[in-house]
Chain A
Amino acid sequence: MPNPRKPERSVVTTCAYCGVGCGFKAETIGGRVVRMIPWKEGKANHGHSCVKGRFAFDYYDHPDRVRKPMVRNRIDEPWREVTWDEAFAHAAAELKRIQATYGSGSVGAVSSSRCTNEEIFLMQKFARVGLRNNNIDNCSRICHSPTQFGLSATLGAGAASQHFDSILQADVILVAGANPTEGHPVFGSLMKRRIREGARLLVIDPRRTETADSPHCRADVHLALRPGTNVAVLDSMAHVIVRERLYDEAFIRARCHWSEFEQWMQLVGDARYAPETVGPEAGLDPEDIRRAARIYAKGPRSTIYYGLGVTEHSQGSTGVMCLGNLALACGMLGREGVGVNPLRGQGNVQGGSCLGSWPHMFTGYRFVTDEAVRKSFEADWKIALDPEPGLRLPNMFDAAVAGTFKAIYIQGEDPVQSDPNQNHIVAAMRSMECVIVQDLYLTETAKFAHVFLPGSSSLEKNGTFTNAERRVSMVRKVVEPLAGLEDWQITVRMINAMGYPLHYDHPSQILDEVARLSPAYQGMSFPLIERLGSVQWPCNADAPEGTEVLHEKQFPRGRANFMLTQYVPTTERTDDRFPLLLTTGRILSQYNVGTQTRRTGNVAWYAEDVLDLHRSDAEARGIQDGDQVTVTSRYGETKLRARISEKMNPGVVYTTFHFAQSKANAVTSDLSDWATNCPEYKVTAVEVAKVPARTEAPQRVPAEAKS
């Protein structure tokens, strides 16, 4: 009877799934990964893990992996395998032809949050020196771009102010629009540990999630608000805080601008934001709003953790500013156990933000329009750079539909499945002349591609990831890249093919370049990260080993700013035709669009997306648990299996987006955040109807069944 085989080799690396960024040891037998075991010295996870990082790694050598570059002239032709050189030459020739025909701004690129910092840096460099424009974006556009905007506007830094362990010192934990127990499980476990020790929990979420209610972890106040009313509710909490004088005047006078605070006080103190007014609008008991506000303000150490339930709204950036304003008003910044912390979703989406994969910003969150910054890049790269902001990803699709955007180089993203208003995206893809996709498998987006560059998983390359704590950790190569090139090598060759000579021996040189060009990463280097295990930026002369807690003495602009956050209801409204509100989210075992996790054993828990609806909404429509239903919005339609759930209020339905066939995004709207175009995934007016069963009595006329 065989004992378990003992692994031969063990390599410490970082998980590529979510923004917790757990440290793992990848163990191999005979050159194949057989086990991922948590690394006890990982500062983000301290030896813990979740089902995805721990077990769902088989995707990396799944039979669906594409191992050879492919091209085709039209998307209705079959793919043709080619050599790497042929693929690069073809892609570059097409991009140049298209720019000559339609203009420099007719092409763009998108980097991947599942790729390393070094690779993301190279993608934005590709756009800037290869395409000679700023049409470069990253997927945080569709999730946390409002965090970048809103926290920069208020606090001066668009990133989490604390490290995860800080929650162990919190007295009050406010979780808004996030479900850490499912979305950031290892952090969720740490949070639950603290709650078992007695910390109080406030949850703002339309659903009674596992975070709000699970063994030994129940929210003291759960504001199950109507989707779309975040800003009203947060301003209402602020109303209570200013009217009952619960704010921290000493902090505000020392660290903010009193005149701005007074302006803000006037706005939120208005009767319009009183709990008695906002409560009914948001479907809440006014007393609950008051209780939440008082508990938060009292602290003494109150911390905020928030997610896409705040950002993915037409007032996403405003919602983030509301959180910043609350923390400033109550003095909950600059020490342990407090802060404002976005739960970044993907393994390296924070890196995407930091490394300048933006149409309007260079590495280090500095504007493209800032001449001094641009000149520093021009000097280092020895090339003139476009001084104007470029197109954001949603605007690239708009421009494609309008006929002015014709080519795109997409690394490790699947917009056809993950971006909203799928019909619009598909129309955009069809209208482009050259779509270059760099990925592990043939994704939904690859169906519209003309060039396919087989990429490498995080087990197949060296580099760094930045997690939601600003923590930069090593990603180490465990196996050789299955297609022969690491992702960063592919982008270097693309840059070369566009006519800009570039060479790196090792990704550490790329990080050195980032350090040269980005103040917050100035002290970063592979040797430093190797020595310390991981480093939280800012890492510079003032903080040579990184910074755990931000804003201790000063905010990046000196003082922080209160922003005026007026509530503007979304134009996505329910009416008689579409009386329900659809909101979306994630579950534990599947990751985002399921590209990786659908190809692992995780389908045992969740093999399809389902639509959760409240019993009363189901009964009114003759829907029973397990029925097939159509979900229709003003934008499109899809079919899902229904599940009766008590976790939402009547009027709200919920689904996930992990499976391509469920086409959740065929239904979502094209509305987006005013500042960043982050899509409003969280609020779509829909109607749900039962799909008639086919095994009905023979007299039934099929034509009537269609609607």
Chain B
Amino acid sequence: MWSELRRLRDDVDYGTPPRDGAPVSLTVDGVPVTVPAGSSVMLAATSCRKSVPKLCATDTLEAFGSCRVCLVEIEGRRGFPAACTTPVEAGMVVRTQSPRLQELRKGVMELYLSDFPASEVPGGWSELHEVMAATGVTTSPYPTGQNHLDAPVDESNPYFLFDPAKCIVCSRCVRACEEVQGTFALTVAGRGFQSKIVASQGERFLDSECVSCGACVQACPTHSLVEKSLFEGGYHRAQPPQA
């Protein structure tokens, strides 16, 4: 594992950590590609410029498979496996685009957008916005129901804030705090719809064990965790819709 960190590139996010290993050859959308054994299908796809949209995956963290956006089709296998958690195998034939995959991704994105402030959709540049562009989904067809749009913003840390209204509980922040920083300050509390990211025992970030390394901010795909310095004159959160 020790030399794998050195394969990280700044201009590419492979989705899952680069590996050392014997070469494995496969095809993605008809394009042949060779990657080290232990790499994910997502990494292989990115390596041959056939990227798969993703939300909970980033190449500084181990794969997690929670967002369900990166689904692909693999010849000879049933269902729609997540590209991030599927290791490559020799001779694999992978398809990243198909009408069914488009439908599935659209369905997942519409669910995410049903609990995301609609006013923050235009003009944004987070990874979530990139996936919206890639999947062509910018609105949700669902009527306004229960949501987290008025969850309180935590501005306790002098440098960054956490706006749970934009959070999709992908847990990249939790994993960054564990795997990269090693402080284990964050966790997902609750289950199902009640799931939310908390610091320590549900404290404010500043009062928790957080050491403000910024790894979670860097990992967040929706700008839910975001630097205060990118806002001019304070943070104004979106108003929740009138029910």
Q: Do chains A and B touch in the complex (CB under 8 A)?
A: yes
Binds A, one of B32-40, B64-72, B176-184: B176-184
Contact B125 A3 (CB under 8 A): yes
Are B3 and A35 within 8 A (Cβ)?
Answer: no
> Are A1 and B3 CB-contacts (below 8 A) given A41-B10, A51-B213, A185-B211?
no
Flag A36-63 by CB within 8 Å of B: 1 or 0 each: 0111110100111111001100000000
Smallest beta-carbon distance A696→chain B, Å: 34
- A706 near B: Cβ within 8 Å? no
With A and B bound together, what is the CA distance between A192 and B125 in angstroms?
33
**Interface size, chain A (Cβ < 8 Å):** 47
Tally of contact residues, B, Cβ under 8 A: 43
Using A51-B211, A55-B159 as known contacts, say yes or no to A3 and B218 having CB atoms under 8 A apart.
no
Number of A-B contacts (CB under 8 A): 121
Q: How far is the CA of A253 from the CA of B144 in the complex (A)?
A: 78
Q: Do B181 and A189 touch across chains, with their CB atoms under 8 A apart? A: yes
Question: Within the complex, what minimum Cβ distance (angstroms) separates B134 from chain A?
Answer: 18
Q: What's the least CB distance linking A517 to chain B, in Å?
A: 31
- Asked if A192 and B182 make an inter-chain contact with CB atoms under 8 angstroms apart, the answer reads yes
- Please tell me which one of the listed residues A35, A40, A50, A166 contacts residue B211 in the complex, with CB atoms under 8 A apart: A50
In Å, the complex CA distance between A6 and B117 comes to: 19
Contact of A196 among B182, B211, B215 (CB under 8 A): B182
Determine if A46 and B182 form an interchain contact, defined as CB atoms under 8 angstroms apart.
Answer: no
CB pair B180–A189 under 8 Å, yes or no, is yes
Q: Report the nearest A residue to B5, measured CB to CB.
A: A46
Asked whether, in the complex, the Cβ of A4 is within 8 Å of the Cβ of B230, the reply is: yes
Contact A2 B181 (CB under 8 A): no
Contact A165 B3, beta carbon cutoff 8 Å: yes
Of the candidates B179, B215, B236, the one whose C-beta lies within 8 Å of that of A2 is B236
Q: Does B24 contact A (CB under 8 A)?
A: no
A599 CB, nearest partner CB in chain B, Å: 13
Are A1 and B119 touching (Cβ within 8 A)? yes
Residue of B8, B120, B226, B236 with most partner-chain A CB within 10 A: B8
Q: Which of B10, B124, B230 contacts A40 (CB 8 A)?
A: B10
- Point out the residues of chain A lying under 8 angstroms from B160, CB to CB: 55
Whether A3 and B2, one on each chain, are in contact in the complex, defined by CB atoms closer than 8 angstroms, is no
Digitize B156-199: 1 where CB-to-A-CB distance is under 8 Å, 0 elsewhere.
01111000000000000000000111111000000000000000
Residues of B within 8 A of A197 (CB): 1
CB distance from B175 to the nearest CB of A (A): 13
Answer yes or no: A604 CB below 8 A from chain B CBs. Answer: yes
- Whether A694 sits at the interface, judged by CB under 8 Å, is no
Chain B 1-15 interface mask (CB, 8 Å, partner A; 1/0): 111011011100000
Most-contacted residue by chain B among A43, A55, A336 (CB, 10 A) = A55
User: Could you say which residues of chain B place their CB within 8 Å of the CB of A47?
Assistant: 8, 10, 60, 180, 218
- B201 at the binding interface (Cβ < 8 Å): no
CB-CB under 8 A for A35 and B230, given A2-B236, A3-B125, A185-B213: yes
Pairs across A and B, CB under 8 Å, 9 listed? A1-B239, A2-B232, A34-B229, A43-B6, A48-B181, A49-B214, A215-B183, A336-B2, A604-B158
Enumerate the 8 nearest inter-chain pairs by beta-carbon distance, A residue then B residue, closest first: A601-B158, A168-B2, A192-B182, A4-B230, A55-B159, A54-B214, A51-B212, A46-B5
Known: A2-B232, A5-B231. 15 other contacts (CB 8 A): A1-B237, A2-B123, A4-B125, A4-B226, A25-B10, A43-B6, A168-B2, A189-B180, A189-B213, A193-B179, A216-B182, A217-B182, A589-B212, A602-B158, A604-B206
